[in-house]
Amino acid sequence: MTDVRKMLGIFCCIAACCVISFSSIAHDAPLIAAQDKARNHLIDEVSPAVYTLRANFRFHKRDTPETLQERGSLGTAFGVTENGLLLTVFHAVGAPVFQLDTQRFLPTYVPPFTWTYTDGQDAEATYTVTAKDGTQHIAEIVAIDPENDLAILSIAKTSPNKFPFIEFERENLNHDSVVAIGSPFGFALSVTEGIISRNQTGDGFVQTNVMVHPGNSGGPLLLLRNHKVAGVLTKNFNPLNSSIGIGIAFAVPASVAAKLLDDTLRELRRLRIVP
């Protein structure tokens, strides 16, 4: 019995010596916490100016009401003036190009909502943009730049209120941290982040490693440091010929988009359409 007590005593001493005071290993890394805070601040600030864009095209033979077919497209747009001008990519609002044998049918835009083809077919377009709060607006095209894959829409007629907008970065870009906001596959206000890999590629695009998918096109590529637009997302690279992003994306530079906006505003003011 005495031996048992001795053994028990020895065991208790060993156990007491081996007790370690554990504490939570969780802690805030100051640099990461600061970056998270900056990112969240950016998203809260700019997301009211980002819209999900849905385009619908109703095709019919010219001068006939019968609908032959309908097609749709999905993209993103964002406010660039308080007067309700939005920027997006041309391929999100332009009617499809038809290929028949060796002949291509390219549509010509006839304001405000018609695309006309040389084969006598027309496409009536409807552009619906949905804001963060669920408010929907019917947009009109006011300027197109197919060469640079850009288009400017207007929702000024839908509301007398001023609209949220995002400014362009007009200075040179470096390997800046960036955030992309858009509607991939229709999931509104989805966010991805990365850096600018190259200010401009050989074909004039800004290259970035943010992940983009169908529906991101037309969305803003935003600088984390000042919340300004570094570019307009337009396409991604995938060696498998898929539209699913694999980490390399391209954006129309802010300088190109800003020039289109400046030229459009100048023309609209000449026509006395905007103040």
Contact at 8 Å (CB) between 252 and 201?
Answer: no
For the whole model, what pTM was predicted? 0.86
Q: Average pLDDT, stretch 131-140?
A: 96
3-state secondary structure 48-77: HHEEEEEEEEEEEECCCCCCCEEEEEEEEE
Q: State how far the Cα of 114 lies from the Cα of 128, in Å rounded to an integer.
A: 15
- Please write the tens of the pLDDT for every residue from 192-244: 999 999 888 777 899 999 988 889 999 999 999 999 999 999 988 766 655 55
- Please write the tens of the pLDDT for every residue from 141-191: 999 999 999 999 999 988 778 999 999 998 888 899 999 999 999 999 999
Map out the domains of the chain with their CATH numbers: 41-46+166-257 (2.40.10.10), 50-165 (2.40.10.10)
Buried b (16+ CB within 10 A) or exposed e, 168-202: bbeeebeebebbbbbbbeeebbbebbbebbebbee
- What's the pLDDT at 27? 75
- Using alpha carbons, list the distances in angstroms from residue 243 to 183, 211, 239: 14, 11, 10
